[in-house]
Amino acid sequence: MASTEFLSFVPIFSELPNETLEKIEKIGTRKSYKKNDVILMEEESGTALFVIVTGKVKVARCSNDGREVILTILSDSDFFGEMAILDGLTRSATVTSLEGTELFLLQRNDFMNLLHEHPEISVALLQELTKRLRAADMKIKALSLKDAEGKVATVILQLADDIGKIKQGKVEIDKLPLQQDLANMAGTSRETISRTLHSFAKKGLVELEGSKLKILDYEKFKGMFI
């Protein structure tokens, strides 16, 4: 892969000409993380924006009694860390690698200069943040209004959007997070996740094989629960 190619897949940079991508590549640095490394922590101050070159991370918050709520899982070409950079407040969540992960870091000043020099990055950033707000709204609805099936389905649909591969109306999620992580995303228990996934499989809505999950008719599944 050319050294700038990964940047052309990042939604906020994808419309930029090659020479701008080369400039961005030069002002950033790369850093590798092992599985389960804490990349940044809730409440600390933020000095950089991160782009995932390869790998997967979870974005989570902890309740006072130590329970974890996973807000989202991000993978190749996603970015994070923009919130503390933009509003100057502390990090809104803790980000931890779920597997070996390579990140590209842009320091706050460099990123802010890019936003001023290339307004198209700001527009793309607004679009991406809007997408995240819609996903968060969907989750609030699921957590407050839905029964267990609705909560689990919402999480599966979110994962399908984030890390799924679409093929002829089916969506395949290659590496489903651990059941405890799914429970922390859905605000329910590990037992409920297990029971509900098996009930979906029995009804012919999904296929489960090891850590692989396939939604057999994505549109139908979405229509049933959203």
| Contact positions vs ligand CMP (CB under 6 A) | 40, 46, 59, 71-72, 80-84, 91-93, 95, 132, 136
Residue 81 or 177: which CB sits closer to ligand CMP?
81
| 3-class secondary structure, 46 | coil
Tokens representing 79 are 């970015």
Q: In sequence order, what DSSP letters do the residues of 47-70 get, joined into one string?
A: -EEEEEEESEEEEEEE-TTS-EEE
* Amino acid (one-letter) located at 82: E
Residue 82 or 218: which CB sits closer to ligand CMP?
82
Min CB(81)–ligand CMP separation in Å = 4
Specify burial of residue 121 (Cβ count, 10 A radius: 0-12, 13-18, 19+): buried
CB of 44 within 8 A of CB of 81?
Answer: no
Min CB(173)–ligand CMP separation in Å = 18
Residue 102 or 161: which CB sits closer to ligand CMP?
161
| 3-class secondary structure, 205 | coil
Min CB(194)–ligand CMP separation in Å = 25
Tell me how far apart the alpha carbons of residues 132 and 4 are, in angstroms, rounded to a whole number: 25
How would you classify the pairing of strands 165-167 and 94-97? unpaired
Q: Which residues contact 219 (CB under 8 A, 6 or more apart)?
A: 169
Residue 77 or 205: which CB sits closer to ligand CMP?
77
Residue 25 or 128: which CB sits closer to ligand CMP?
128
Min CB(135)–ligand CMP separation in Å = 6
How would you classify the pairing of strands 56-62 and 206-209? unpaired
Min CB(89)–ligand CMP separation in Å = 8
